[in-house]
Amino acid sequence: MSSPEKTLILVKPDGVRRGLVGEVISRVENKGYKVTNLRMLTADRALLTKHYEEHQGKPFFEPLLEFMSSGPIVAMIAEGEQVIQGFRKLAGATDPTQAEPGTIRGDLARDMGTKVIQNIVHGSDSKESAEREIKIYFN
């Protein structure tokens, strides 16, 4: 029997500031996924540079690091059948103005007119990303 798929989910500083951590966890669990590890931290530049290394050199890289280090984040590992794809569907489109109602971003995120989209959550986009990102936050 194969082990369940795992993904990294982050509640970003805007979600933590707005008191939405419980709501995000609730939606993950209500979907049938299991949260197996959870921690709150304030990410430093080194950790965030490692996480977002594929975006280095892009115009939004520095504003992204600034935003993601602007306050505490909550990192969690969720597992379940097709959890990577399932959570990304649950999260909704990256741009909150395009996210469908019923998704985390569609219901809870809003366009703040900032340099970086503040969209409440991050979820790994592939098994490879999930493995790499989980190691960054839960070494």
DSSP 116: S
Q: Please, which residues bridge with residue 79 across strands?
A: 6, 34
CA geometry: angle 81, 87, 92, nearest 5 deg: 150
Residue type, 72: P
**Residues assigned a catalytic role:** 122
Task: Determine the Cα–Cα distance for residues 46 and 107; give it in Å rounded to an integer.
Answer: 32
